[in-house]
Amino acid sequence: MDSIIVRGGAELSGQIPIAGAKNACLALMPATLLSEEPLTLTNAPRLSDIRTMTTLLQSLGAEVSTLAGGKVLAASSHGLTSTRADYDIVRKMRASNLVLGPLLAREGQAVVSLPGGCAIGARPMDIHIDALERLGARIDLRDGYLHATAPGGLKGAPVPLRFASVGATENALMAATLAKGTTVIENAAREPEIVDLAECLRKMGAQIEGEGTSTITIQGVDRLHGATHAVVTDRIELGTYMLAPAFTGGEIECLGGRLDLVGAFVEKLYAAGLEVEETARGLKVRRSGDRPRAVDVVTEPFPGFPTDLQAQMMAMLCTAEGTSTLEEKIFENRFMHAPELMRMGARIELQGGTARVTGVERLRGAPVMATDLRASVSLILAGLGAEGETVVSRVYHLDRGYEQLEQKLSAVGARIERVAA
């Protein structure tokens, strides 16, 4: 397995282009299953998860081509040959379950393996199942697969979600576009990726209102047509690179950055002593003092502080002045990066879903191991500001969510390289 070597101490300065959102693109791609006409996605990220979703769609008979060096995805589902999403593909990525709703809506049946993904806690499918059953689906679990049918077609209905699940909202939203009648998703997720999906579906002819709020109303239509849609900026990649100057000093401009995507996160940056400035091309960030200040963080669904930036924030707070508390309310097992940061000299106390971080003046480079996607990049960031050399192993996680990370950081002055195993 590859490793990444980071030699700390280099001040960063320059521009970093932010890619299209992985989590948005992974929901947009299955939308092609809803129509026989082509769907073209621009500003697509070039990631291993996107390749996995491509493989899954192709296994169903969809045609998916990558253009413009991978930044454009051209998909067509005019001739589906299967409604079965096999375990060998689905196990690699949790978002594979997003083919369930579209297949049910268009074909009236689907057999989808229970998904896999990062080991950051349970993310059960019961919310997805309940939502689709309220639309008239019949779903049984047999041999690790969800066997779903809608013999009379899906029918619009109230869909109250017991938790504002992003994936369940996406599955229900896509399924409802072709259901007969009106569907009202209550306690819907409000994330920008939901808004992006709704905008794309509307371009395809769907009738949707209320995305971005907790109540989304969908009036089903008989068919959807083709469309071209630009994937929204990746707010997690954006937040990750916005943190980089806190570790190293200097100034970074994140091209394509938007404040509306990272509002709660930016509030914590201000409190920690970072300066954030809107520019004509994105967001510019600099550190105002020698060290950031301690802040307390609680992860929440959007528009709250995102769980996918918790690990990176913890890494920054390891060298903050004072003591910070981070409370993880979305996923259990999401402090697996803490012991690795402690190997670098961080002072962290863990108790259940709470981490107490007392800042030290500087971290020290050390051999560390990545445990999941966001933990991986938190160790890279920590290494940028640490004394000496940090070697991060098992970095295959990174390729699921960050395109050309070493190149982007090297271009602004980081001393970083990938070493093949």
Catalytic machinery residues: 118
User: Which residues have CB under 8 Å from 93's CB, separation 6+?
Assistant: 26, 49, 52, 53, 115, 116, 117, 400
22 is in an annotated binding site: yes
Are the C-beta atoms of 116 and 94 separated by less than 8 Å? yes
Secondary structure class of 396 (helix, strand, coil): helix
Gap between the Cα atoms of 22 and 194, Å rounded: 13
Q: Are 379 and 390 in contact (CB under 8 A)?
A: yes
The whole-angstrom separation of Cα 63 and Cα 208 is 27
d(CA 274, CA 285): 7
Q: 390 and 368 in contact (C-beta within 8 Å)?
A: yes
The distance of Cα 388 from the centroid of its chain, to the nearest Å, equals 31
Extract the runs of DSSP E, i.e. beta strands, from 9-86: 12-17, 39-42, 63-67, 72-76, 84-85
Residue 232 in contact with residue 22, Cβ under 8 Å?
no
Instruction: Report residue 247 as tokens.
Output: 């570790």
Known binding residue 71? Answer is no
Structure tokens at 156: 């619009």
Query: What's the CA angle centered on 300, arms 394 and 298, to 5 degrees?
Result: 80
Helix, strand, coil abundance in the chain, percent, nearest 5:
35, 30, 35
Please indicate if the annotation marks 180 as binding a ligand.
Answer: no
Residue with tokens 């919310």: 127
Query: Taking the mean position of all CA atoms in its chain, how far away is CA 237?
Result: 9
- The residue among 125, 127, 131 whose CA lies nearest residue 113 is 125
Binding-site residue set: 22-23, 94, 308, 330
Binding-site residue set for UDP-N-acetyl-alpha-D-glucosamine: 94, 308, 330
Binding-site residue set for phosphoenolpyruvate: 22-23
